[in-house]
Chains A and B, each alone.
Chain A
Amino acid sequence: MIRQVSIFIENHEGRLNHILKILAENKINIRSLNIADATDFGIVRLILQETEKGIEVLKKNDIITTVTPVLAAEISDDPGGLSTLVDALTQAKINIVYAYSFLPKKTDNAIIIIRVDDEVQQKAIETLEKVAKINLLDRETLLLK
């Protein structure tokens, strides 16, 4: 299980930069970034090299954050690789809330970050590991440089 930092921002110029600057000034490396946008606001989802410190400096700057548990699944970087994963979850009737890709450094495989509802998280882990034989990465492995 990976701890992703979710941040609320208003959807206008300068807001994303504000957050990125706070992290940069505190020397916190961003390992992945995903933005979901509504009309007036957005949610920035980050995987940070140093999660706790990142949350601390963001909160100190009055930025609303929450930690969301997500899964990091390693799949083959070939046609159909992602489909195997989605198939397994579909058959288990598990809904993917959102997903995005993570750029790995130590493997030739692809890594997909997946968010499922909290109540089916355990079931998702079992389905992926035991049924689809997909490797889920822990934090240390994912963030290896």
Chain B
Amino acid sequence: MYWNKSYECMPREKLQELQLERLKRMVNRIYHDVPFYRNKFQEKGLLPEDVKSLEDLQKLPFTTKVDLRDNYPYGLFTVPLEQIVRIHASSGTTGKPTVVGYTRNDISMWSELMARCLVAAGAGPHSVIQNAYGYGLFTGGLGVHYGAERLGASIIPISGGNTAKQIMIMQDFGSTVLTCTPSYAIYLAEVLAEAGIDPASLKIQAGIFGAEPWSENIRKDIEKKLKIKAYDIYGLSEIMGPGVAIECECQDGLHVWEDHFIPEIIDPVTLKVLPYGQQGELVITTITKEGIPILRYRTRDITTIKPEPCACGRTHLRISRLQGRTDDMLIIRGVNVFPTQIESVLLEIGEVEPHYQLVVRRDGSLDTLEIKVELSEALFSDRISNLENLEKRIRDRIQSTIGISAKVALVEPKSLPRSEGKSQRVVDLRKI
């Protein structure tokens, strides 16, 4: 089943013609409308006319999360705010979030692509979609929501959390599709089992899970426990939000909607483009977005491009399941967490540069974050309650700035590893 067969199954030659035409138009627009891109082109001695083929994309400059932060909040928008109808934001590497804006056409494009994703995962107008992605600045909730409305399915905008209610609604409303993070899906399955509810008694048939990395084993686990088919979805707010890529019924790689995005894989060290099939960092160019078109965005996600034709009939390239990150970003319960954000919080509280370590564990099905902080003499007090208050202050601040609950443990000075490498800052004990 397809939502838009003529585009989803477009012969590759035609698809590439379309991409080139759209890429040229996009490059022209950002060169003329965004000083940031014009400067970058000029530094490299490039003009928009230098883009004559899709291969020429490789000559063009990259965009990074730091560029978005440096142009915070609206510096990379190509249209005035009166044409922006929605603003989303995701975690930045420090205190400030990464901000993206959508025109009416952008929302329409996003809805279209999300509708394609839902159909690829077996949904249709008859589906009842229980959307347990968070609604808010995070793109997950509203992204799925608009796609479901475009498709004509019945969307239940329950948002994340409140597990008892999720289960009641799943039972009473007859939800057929569940959308949430994979770890929340496992959690729901466990709660169902504890409550003695047989998933076979529910109408749920499929789940569309994303916003955090997960493995084939977790898929099997979810499929067995919930008695559904589980599909991987990929997206990021800088590019659009959920729906940049989706698995089809073959469940073997995620189709990237190439009529709107051009994916490349680069070596994160040499920055050279790698041939199809080789693992590297995923780079995406948006070729139709109006609000904030992004040229060669370095996603930091590690994957490979699978060029082989897919049995489903879609001609769009597939990327394999994400293999990891090239930076130290952690995804904890669907929330992006950068160690540098934690560092900013600790700097605000302490008087000296903090030494800290993040320990991520998977307790049952839920990820937990522990922040070990070396106590300094300046913050030491002879009273237990003062130290416990200090832990609480850090915890509350992390909760309010990053939106994640963490356990804070004060440790002795010089007890944490000192090596320069960022890897020492993060101990990820999760097995995914």
B420 within 8 A of A: no
Interface contact B412-A10, CB-CB below 8 Å: yes
The 10 closest A-B pairs by CB, nearest first: A6-B382, A68-B382, A40-B409, A62-B414, A64-B380, A62-B413, A38-B384, A36-B384, A64-B377, A10-B412
Question: Do B384 and A8 touch (CB < 8 A)?
Answer: no
A8-B375, A38-B387, A41-B387 known; A63-B412 Cβ under 8 A: yes
CA distance A38 to B377 in the complex (A): 18
- B358-395: which have CB < 8 Å to A? 375-377, 380-384, 387-388
How big is the A interface, by class? 20 to 34
Contact partners of B409 in chain A: CB under 8 A: 40-41
Q: Is A97 an interface residue (CB 8 A)?
A: yes
The interface of chain B, by Cβ under 8 A from chain A, is 375-377, 380-384, 387-388, 409-415
Instruction: Give complex CA distance A63, B377 in Å.
Output: 9
Q: Is the CB of A66 within 8 A of B410?
A: no
Q: Which of A50-81 contact B (CB under 8 A)?
A: 62-66, 68
Determine if B383 and A8 form an interchain contact, defined as CB atoms under 8 angstroms apart: no
Determine the chain B residues whose CB is within 8 A of the CB of A40 once the complex forms: 409-411
Shortest Cβ distance from A45 into B: residue = B382
Q: Determine the chain A residues whose CB is within 8 A of the CB of B380 once the complex forms.
A: 6, 8, 64-66
With contacts A15-B412, A64-B377, A64-B412 taken as known, whether A115 is within 8 angstroms of B384 at the C-beta atoms is no
Query: What is the count of residue pairs linking A and B with beta-carbon distances less than 8 angstroms?
Result: 51
Which of B383, B411, B412, B413 meets A97, CB within 8 Å? B383
Is the CB–CB distance between A66 and B377 below 8 Å? yes
Q: Which residues of B contact A66 (CB under 8 A)?
A: 377, 380-382
In the complex formed, the residue of B with least CB distance to A18 is B412
Residues of A within 8 Å of B375, CB to CB, are 8, 41, 64
26 pairs, A vs B, C-beta closer than 8 Å: A8-B375, A8-B387, A9-B412, A10-B411, A10-B412, A37-B384, A38-B387, A38-B388, A40-B409, A40-B410, A41-B409, A41-B410, A41-B411, A43-B387, A62-B412, A62-B413, A62-B414, A63-B412, A64-B375, A64-B377, A64-B413, A66-B381, A66-B382, A68-B382, A97-B383, A115-B382
Q: For the complex, what is the distance from the CA of A97 to the CA of B382, rounded to whole Å?
A: 10
Minimum Cβ distance to chain A for residue B338 (Å) = 25
Taking the closest CB of chain A, its distance from the CB of B344, in whole angstroms, is 23
Q: When chains A and B are docked, how far (Å) is the Cα of A65 from the Cα of B378?
A: 10
CB within 8 Å for A8 and B412 given contacts A64-B377, A66-B382, A97-B383? yes
- Distance to closest chain B CB from A127 (angstroms): 22
Cα A37 to Cα B385 in complex, Å, equals 11
| Minimum CB–CB distance for A77 against chain B, Å | 27
Q: Are B384 and A43 in contact (CB under 8 A)?
A: yes
Specify the chain A residue showing the minimal Cβ separation from B410.
A41
Least distance between A7 CB and chain B CB atoms (Å): 9
Q: Is A43 a contact partner of B412 (Cβ separation < 8 A)?
A: no
Bound complex: CA A63 to CA B414 (Å): 9
Alpha-carbon gap, A65 to B377, bound state (A): 7
B408 to chain A: closest residue by CB: A40
User: Knowing that A10-B415, A41-B411, A63-B413 are A-B contacts, what are 5 other residue pairs whose CB atoms are under 8 Å apart, sorted by A's residue number?
Assistant: A8-B387, A37-B384, A64-B375, A64-B376, A68-B382
The CA of A8 and the CA of B432, in the complex, are separated in Å by 37
Q: Which residue of A lies closest to B379 (CB)?
A: A64
**Contact mask for chain A residues 4-30; partner B; CB cutoff 8 A; 1 contact, 0 none:** 101011100001000000000000000
Q: Which of chain A's residues have a CB closer than 8 A to the CB of B415?
A: 10
Query: Which residues of A are found within 8 Å of B383, using beta-carbon distances?
Result: 43, 97
- Least CB distance from A17 to B in Å reads 14
Give the contacts of A72-114 with B (CB-CB under 8 A): 97
Docked complex: A113-135 residues within 8 A CB-CB of B: 115
Within the assembled complex, what's the spacing in Å between the Cα atoms of A92 and B352? 40
Whose C-beta in chain B lies nearest to the C-beta of A68? B382
Across the interface, which residues of A come within 8 angstroms of B388, CB to CB?
A: 38
How far is the CB of B409 from the nearest CB of chain A, in Å? Answer: 4
Q: Smallest CB–CB gap between B285 and chain A, Å?
A: 47
- State the CA gap A51–B384 with chains docked (Å): 22
A97 CA / B410 CA spacing, docked (Å): 22
B382 contacts across to A, CB distance below 8 A: 4, 6, 43, 45, 66, 68, 115
A22 to chain B, nearest CB (A): 13
| Assembly CA distance A37 to B388 (angstroms) | 11
* Complex CA–CA separation, A68 to B70 (angstroms): 47
- Central interface residue in A10, A36, A40, A62, by most chain B CB within 10 Å: A40
